[in-house]
Amino acid sequence: MQNQQAPEMSCPVAPVVDLVFSRWTTPILWTLNFDGRQRFSELERRIETITPKVLTERLRQLERDGLVSRTYHREIPPRVEYQITELGSSLAPLFAQLAHWGTAHLPDVEQARLSYDA
C-alpha cells in the first residue's frame, strides 16, 4: 500500500507559504527586517491598513513561531518593542528574491491578464 499524503502536504513549499505569506505576516516581517525594532504604534503607522486587533494577533503568532521577539520595558508608561529574530531575518533573501521577481515579471503578469480578459 502506498503512503498517502494530504494533498496540501505533497508540496514541501506549502507549509512555508502558510507560515510566512498570510495576509499581514509579510508586511510585518518586511517592516521589522528593513526598519528595525519598532513599537506597536510605529508598526501601526507603517502598515496603515491593518487594524490594531489584527496587528496584535499577527504579532503574537509571529512571536509564537519564533520569527519576532517582543521586549517589554518596565517604565511609566510601559513600552513594548518588537524586532525580527535571527530566524525571521533568515527570510530576507527569500523576500529579496520575490521583490526582484515582482519587478521583473509583474508587468508580464498584467499583460497576460489583459490578454486573457480580452
Domain 7-117, CATH among 1.10.10.10, 3.40.50.970, 1.10.1490.10, 3.40.309.10? 1.10.10.10
Q: What is the pLDDT of residue 4?
A: 63
* Residue extents of the structural domains in the chain: 7-117
Q: What is the pLDDT of residue 89?
A: 95
Q: What is the pLDDT of residue 8?
A: 59
CA atoms within 13 A on the CB side of 82: 28
Q: What is the pLDDT of residue 1?
A: 47
- pTM score of the predicted model: 0.81
Question: Mind listing the pLDDT tens digit of every residue in the chain (118 residues)?
Answer: 455 666 656 788 888 888 888 889 999 999 999 999 999 999 999 998 999 999 999 999 999 999 999 999 998 988 999 999 999 999 999 999 999 999 999 999 999 999 999 9
Closest by CA to 28, choosing from 49, 1, 5, is: 49
